Structure 1
Amino acid sequence: MTTVRETVHDLLRAWGLTTIFGNPGSNELPFLDRFPADFRYILGLHEGAVLAMADGYAQATGRPALVNLHAAAGLGNAMGNLANAKEMHTPLIVTAGQQSRGLVGLGAMLSEPDLTVVPTPHVKASLEPKRAQDVPRTLAQAYHLAMLPPRGPVFVSLPLDDWTAEVEPHEVEHLGRRRVTPLGGPGEGQVEELATRLAAASSPVLVLGPEVDVEPAFSQAIELAEAARLPVWLAPHPPRCPFPTTHPHYRGVLPTNVAGVSENLAGHDFILVLGAPVFRYHVNRPGPFLPPGAELVSVTSDPTAAARAPMGDALVGDVTRVLSALVKLGARPADRAPVTPRTAPEKVPADKAPFPAESVYDALAEVLPEDAVLISESTSNTGMLWERVPIRGAGGLYFPAAGGLGFGLPAAVGVALADPSRRVFAVIGDGAAQYGVQGLWSAAMHQLPITFVVLRNNGYGGLQRFVDALGVSGVPGLDLPGLDIVSVAAGYGLPAERVGTIAGLRAALTAMPDGPLLLEVPITGGPDLAG
């Protein structure tokens, strides 16, 4: 017989989960005992950073990642970024060590009888094995649940004294060989009906979401847009970029309010939404859900999002398969007008710091390699990124999906670990950087190819924009005087410099060192604070 620990290590190896992201405590040490030489443990200095690193890694690889957290407190520290993972449908197996079974009921330190309740509602399921011998099967259940559509994080509570228990071979012999496979999307008749409705429309429009930001869906969306002469919008709050922003059919990102979406889609009689919820609003600006005379059909893998939508029809299934079928069935109607390319924004000149944020994004657009990966978490300047920085291919951009801060900086670490051949450029606000700043240490320890561009406006710019919109005044806690991210980075062992000119910014962005680099870039738009 083998132990639970040995059995789980073998299962993780069979599933390809040999990269583990964690910040362990005493409850987790028995799992890490005699850690296999062919595994790697990516240590983060805070559980929030650990979760975001795993999220970025899983998104970039398209495979699940295993997260190793410490008890209820460590799991609680990770909750902000767990919300991002749930919203993004990232397949994560999130574990936390439970106290020894015999001590949980006694209220011992590091015990939590309701540990499975802590991560809800930000996981697909929350599990704890009923006995030690059930640990391998429970982890297998979590693995398959995380990967089934809609994908997402699954939590498993693991008592520390389970790992040394012995397991009968017949209880686990099939686990590593099992495959649980979804059957796909809507039937052919339904897709044919959708294609007919699309072809019959006089002015259809395509709205894309994050599920399309994978190949071959990304390329198929381009093919469909060109063949059917469809202008293309991105759904509100895009956490990924499912269509090239350089393409002449690209129209931009839909606003985050009901009225704004309807206004931007006015004049279209058929709205096809692929791979996005309908819709994720933020600002309360009421209005009609659809413009007059418009019909809407959405295709998504998420049945909850499909059921929740207040308008339109929905098909629940594999978006890539539906796209592929539409490309094969579709033909361009002869009387549909060609799509007119949008007008590019004018460049904003600048020389010395502090710079207009537009000029920083213009510099990025001029010098970024075509295969660069962008991580964005400068929320007050997100619109400028979408307007000014070219994103050409699948997997070109990552953004926090749930609206909380702390994803961007450590997620860049995970994305770089997934594919070290592509340099990652993480554009982070000075406030947002503080939420995941521990990720700098991990980037330095692994010498990852990341350029961190920290935009310093001395405040929470995203919140400052809401002051007028919400009609409030005299709000405290929005200014951030005295931050020195260059010194912080140096303390974590990461090279850093403060950029004073646009020419210096361009030179630093094109330097391409072997490892990480942090650039602090002062921008206008925040309070005039010393430091």
Structure 2
Amino acid sequence: MPTARRIAHEFLERQGLTTIFGNPGSNELPFLAELPGSFRYVLGLHEGVVVGMADGYAQATGRPVLVNLHAAAGSGNAMGALTNAVSSRSPLVLTAGQQVRSAIGLEAMLANVDATTLMRPLVGWSGEPSCAADVPRSLAQAVFEAGLQRRPTYLSVPYDDWSAELDANAAVTLDRSVQRGLVPDEQQLAAVTDALGTARNPVLVLGADLDTAGLFDRAVALAEHLDLPVWVAPSPHRLPFPNRHRLFRGVLPAGIEPVSSALTGHDLVLVLGAPVFRYHQHVPGPYLPAGTRLIQVTDDAGAAARAPMGEALVADPAPVLEALRTRLPARPGAADGPRFLANPEPATADGALHPEQVFAALRETQAADTCYVVESTSTNAAWWRQMDLRRAGSYFFPAAGGLGFGMPAAVGMAMGLPDRPVVAVIGDGSANYGITALWTAAQYRVPVTFVILRNGTYGALRWFGQVLGTPDVPGTEIPGLDFVPIAEGYGVPATTVTGAEDLRAQLKTASAGPRLIQVDTAATSPE
């Protein structure tokens, strides 16, 4: 009779989960034994980096991905990175080893006494099989729940279960499939179409979920067909619309009153593929301008339920985009003027490069289809001013704001999208949280360009100190960091550049594997 391990491996293979990101402990070894040759195991040196790589890989491929963690301690190490994966709605399937069943109640070393509650409330589903015979079904549920909810799941498995021989009922799991459909009905489509068609001055607010679902080009087509101004929803972790397009108005600020001010004058706000809204700094005020109607279309039922205002339709945004474009006539003036705006001259600074100079160099030297993984929060304003991103899947940011996403996610992104160049733009403060991703990049020859912006500060914190009226707090300075020897120690070629021309020359140099470029930059604020 087949073992639970054999059935699990075959199930994962049939589901396409053959790339495993992991950092194993002793409890995980029985699952990894006899791994078929079709599987690829990607080792990370810290569990937070492992989850960050898997998050990038899942966002790149759009498919669930398997993560193998150690029991309580290893799973705990991964939880910071998991917050980003939850907010980006990445379908990660987290598996963790558990002590043998007879030792859990004794609280033996490496036992996870209450394993199913450890990752809650972060994960969408958490479980531990009731017996060895339940392992295949439980694993299948973890995979299906991750795909259906588009949220990480967690499964703890006692390691003596893997070698248990199971009867024919366990193998029935191998033939299962689960699909999801949220197609709006005719009445719902007509209501949204009528609202937009009769609005006096409507505006679109687009969210990261559109890019996740492959709807970037359809969103552009709708905006151009109706000649509608476009905002991107606050705190985007992906970009759903070209940021130099003539209809692009910017990223909405992440405060209640500033959002309301930005939307003033519009009688209808149509939000597609985004929560309403992901605020950050607390700036109270009215949620919406007086007389403004808001309609949200999202396939995230939780986001619809928790919104404080407006009407919501829980549905796949794709048929809504298509219905609006085909049922409403084109608005006059839709083809007037240049489609994309000219790029501005970058700002300069004394003694170091201004971040705008760095981003202008990236824009001028990198391929148009480059994927940028960005984790430099203090340079947001400079980024959006200088970059020219016109393709789907061009921008990725830590969705929950948790540091340590950027470097690992870039490695996972490059593994998931081998035909597109990947550049990680990382602040020197952020880099330390995921630095061991360099080792994985070197060992697996992952072609990522890491650009480290070194200004010796936690720039976003210094800015927030001004916002909160606390400019004198400690812990915002980080002098003395040099990432060149650190990268070389992990096996990644690295160099420091000081001038704009030197930076351009380095960026133009081809590299078959990973490389790191350290750039000294002036301190700036997110706004």
Coarse TM-score class (shorter-chain normalised): over 0.9
What amino acid is aligned across from residue 64 of structure 1 in structure 2?
A: P
**Residues 446-455 or 175-184, more deviating:** 175-184
Alignment of 1:42-191 (within 5 A): 42-148=42-148, 150-173=149-172, 175-191=173-189
Alignment of 1:10-409 (within 5 A): 10-148=10-148, 150-173=149-172, 175-214=173-212, 216-334=214-332, 346-348=344-346, 350=348, 354-409=352-407
Partner of 2:286: helix, strand, or coil? coil
**How big is each residue's C-alpha offset from its partner over 1:433-483, in whole Å with a ceiling of 9 and x where there is no partner?**
000001001111111111000000101111111011001132111111111
Q: Distance in 2 between matches of 1:319 and 1:336?
A: 23
**How big is each residue's C-alpha offset from its partner over 1:97-151, in whole Å with a ceiling of 9 and x where there is no partner?**
1111100111100002112111111100111000011111001011111111x41
What amino acid is aligned across from residue 138 of structure 2 in structure 1?
A: T
What amino acid is aligned across from residue 99 of structure 1 in structure 2?
A: Q
**How big is each residue's C-alpha offset from its partner over 1:405-425, in whole Å with a ceiling of 9 and x where there is no partner?**
000100000000001221101
Match of 1:442 among 440, 443, 462: 440
What amino acid is aligned across from residue 153 of structure 2 in structure 1?
A: V
Partner of 1:207: helix, strand, or coil? strand
Q: Distance in 1 between matches of 2:335 and 2:348?
A: 39
Q: Distance in 2 between matches of 1:425 and 1:498?
A: 16
User: Are 1:451 and 2:449 matched, yes or no?
Assistant: yes
Q: Does the 8 Å contact 2:246/2:341 carry over to 1?
A: no
What amino acid is aligned across from residue 474 of structure 2 in structure 1?
A: P
Alignment of 1:490-501 (within 5 A): 490-501=488-499
What amino acid is aligned across from residue 118 of structure 1 in structure 2?
A: L
User: Are 1:482 and 2:477 matched, yes or no?
Assistant: no
**How big is each residue's C-alpha offset from its partner over 1:168-218, in whole Å with a ceiling of 9 and x where there is no partner?**
122322x22222112223212111111111011111100000111046511
Judged with a 3 Å threshold, the aligned counterparts in structure 2 of structure 1 residues 454 and 232 are, in CA distance, closer, same or farther, namely: same
How far is 1:325 from its partner?
Answer: 2.2
Q: Distance in 2 between matches of 1:31 and 1:55?
A: 22
How far is 1:51 from its partner?
Answer: 0.2
Q: Distance in 1 between matches of 2:424 and 2:480?
A: 22
How far is 1:387 from its partner?
Answer: 2.2
**How big is each residue's C-alpha offset from its partner over 1:461-516, in whole Å with a ceiling of 9 and x where there is no partner?**
11111011001132111111111111110000000000111101111111121111
Judged with a 3 Å threshold, the aligned counterparts in structure 2 of structure 1 residues 255 and 526 are, in CA distance, closer, same or farther, namely: closer
User: Are 1:467 and 2:465 matched, yes or no?
Assistant: yes
What amino acid is aligned across from residue 206 of structure 2 in structure 1?
A: L
Judged with a 3 Å threshold, the aligned counterparts in structure 2 of structure 1 residues 215 and 131 are, in CA distance, closer, same or farther, namely: closer
Judged with a 3 Å threshold, the aligned counterparts in structure 2 of structure 1 residues 216 and 524 are, in CA distance, closer, same or farther, namely: closer
**How big is each residue's C-alpha offset from its partner over 1:207-246, in whole Å with a ceiling of 9 and x where there is no partner?**
0001110465111111110111111110000000011113
Judged with a 3 Å threshold, the aligned counterparts in structure 2 of structure 1 residues 215 and 181 are, in CA distance, closer, same or farther, namely: closer
Structure 1 runs not aligned, ≥5 long: none
How far is 1:520 from its partner?
Answer: 0.5
How far is 1:327 from its partner?
Answer: 1.9
Partner of 2:160: helix, strand, or coil? helix
Q: Distance in 1 between matches of 2:351 and 2:501?
A: 11
Judged with a 3 Å threshold, the aligned counterparts in structure 2 of structure 1 residues 158 and 489 are, in CA distance, closer, same or farther, namely: same
Partner of 2:113: helix, strand, or coil? coil
Partner of 1:161: helix, strand, or coil? coil
Residue 430 of structure 1 corresponds to 428
What amino acid is aligned across from residue 41 of structure 1 in structure 2?
A: Y
Q: Distance in 2 between matches of 1:228 and 1:343?
A: 19
Residue 525 of structure 1 corresponds to 523
Partner of 2:373: helix, strand, or coil? strand
How far is 1:328 from its partner?
Answer: 2.0
Q: Distance in 2 between matches of 1:123 and 1:289?
A: 29
**How big is each residue's C-alpha offset from its partner over 1:7-33, in whole Å with a ceiling of 9 and x where there is no partner?**
101001100111000000000000011
Residue 2 of structure 1 corresponds to 2
What amino acid is aligned across from residue 52 of structure 1 in structure 2?
A: G
**Residues 229-238 or 182-191, more deviating:** 182-191
Structure 2 runs not aligned, ≥5 long: none
RMSD of Structure 2 on Structure 1 (CA): 1.9
Partner of 1:212: helix, strand, or coil? helix
Q: Distance in 2 between matches of 1:3 and 1:397?
A: 43
What amino acid is aligned across from residue 85 of structure 2 in structure 1?
A: A
How far is 1:305 from its partner?
Answer: 1.1
How far is 1:368 from its partner?
Answer: 1.7
How far is 1:339 from its partner?
Answer: 8.8
Task: Report the number of matched residues.
Answer: 525
What amino acid is aligned across from residue 346 of structure 2 in structure 1?
A: V
Judged with a 3 Å threshold, the aligned counterparts in structure 2 of structure 1 residues 161 and 142 are, in CA distance, closer, same or farther, namely: same
Q: Distance in 2 between matches of 1:395 and 1:403?
A: 19
Judged with a 3 Å threshold, the aligned counterparts in structure 2 of structure 1 residues 410 and 336 are, in CA distance, closer, same or farther, namely: closer
Percent identity at matched positions? 50
Partner of 1:162: helix, strand, or coil? coil
**Residues 449-458 or 336-345, more deviating:** 336-345
Q: Does the 8 Å contact 1:454/1:518 carry over to 2?
A: yes
